[in-house]
């Protein structure tokens, strides 16, 4: 950070605050000035100043309000289906990490299309047979990467 341009802005959007060495910065010879909540200026002895956002914690949730609702509806639909799945299958799963099925993944996407005015094309039986999928999906093999 010492070598950064004067007035550079530094932030993290990864989950934990260890991507930027905050403890080391706070113990360094840089002088910290609070500008407002979640915005601090650090001045290095040479005079260089940098701005640190949200104390190195995820900036989109620390300095703003996180993602918009529409995208979180996708994430949280998955969360809700996962909770239902865990409860329905309690006692059946091993202590391992599982993924939700591709059927549920496609279902979550489907639930969001109408709202934004997207209309799906429907496969004919002949087309479905030709590419080797069911007319109602899943439309991709497990190894497909999107």
Partner 1 sequence: MSEDYKVADISLAEFGRKEIDIAQHEMPGLMAIRDKYAAEQPLKDVRIMGSLHMTIQTAVLIETLVALGAKVRWCSCNIFSTQDHAAAAIAATGVPVFAWKGESLEEYWWCTERALNFGDGQGPELIVDDGGDATLLIHKGYQLENGDRSFVDSEGGSLEEGVIKDLLKNLNEKQPQRWHGVVADWHGVSEETTTGVHRLYQMVEAGELLIPAINVNDSVTKSKFDNLYGCRESLLDGIKRATDVMIAGKVGVVCGYGDVGKGCAQALKGMGAQVIVSEVDPICALQATMEGFRVMPVEDSLGIGDIYVTTTGNKDIITPRSHAWHERSGHRL
Gap between the Cα atoms of 51 and 75, Å rounded: 31
Residue 117 makes contact with partner 1 by CB under 8 A: no
Cβ contact 51:8 at 8 Å: yes
Residues in the interface with ligand NAD (CB under 6 A) total 6
Q: Which stretch binds partner 1 (CB under 8 A): 70-78, 117-125, 127-135?
A: 70-78
Which of 77, 136, 133 lies closest to 105, judged by CA? 77
Contacts of 45 (CB under 8 A, 6+ apart): 29, 30
Minimal distance in Å, beta carbon 61 to ligand NAD? 6
Task: Give the residue, chosen from 34, 65, 120, 131, that forms a contact with partner 1 under the rule CB under 8 A.
Answer: 65
By CB under 6 A, the residues from 60 to 99 that bind ligand NAD are 60, 67
Nearer to ligand NAD, 75 or 124 (CB): 75
Residue 71 makes contact with partner 1 by CB under 8 A: yes
Contacts 24+ apart (CB under 8 A), 118-127: none
Minimal distance in Å, beta carbon 44 to ligand NAD? 23
Task: Give the residue, chosen from 34, 47, 91, 141, that forms a contact with partner 1 under the rule CB under 8 A.
Answer: 91
Gap between the Cα atoms of 55 and 62, Å rounded: 9
H or E stretch at 77 = helix 69-88
Residue 13 makes contact with ligand NAD by CB under 6 A: yes
Binding residues for ligand NAD, rule: CB under 6 A, are: 13-15, 58, 60, 67
């Amino acid at each position: 950070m010492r070598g950064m341009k004067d007035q550079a802005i530094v932030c993290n959007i990864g989950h934990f605050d260890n991507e930027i060495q905050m403890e080391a910065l706070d113990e360094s010879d840089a002088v910290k000035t609070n500008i407002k909540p979640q915005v601090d200026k650090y001045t290095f002895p040479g005079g260089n100043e940098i701005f640190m956002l949200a104390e190195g914690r995820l900036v989109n949730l620390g300095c703003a309000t996180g993602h918009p609702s529409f995208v979180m509806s996708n994430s949280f639909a998955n969360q809700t289906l996962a909770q239902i799945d865990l409860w329905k299958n309690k006692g059946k799963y091993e202590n391992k990490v599982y993924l939700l099925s591709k059927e549920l993944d496609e279902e979550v996407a489907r639930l969001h299309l109408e709202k934004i005015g997207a209309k799906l094309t429907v496969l004919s039986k002949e087309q479905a047979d030709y590419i080797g999928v069911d007319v109602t999906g899943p439309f991709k093999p497990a190894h497909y990467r999107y």
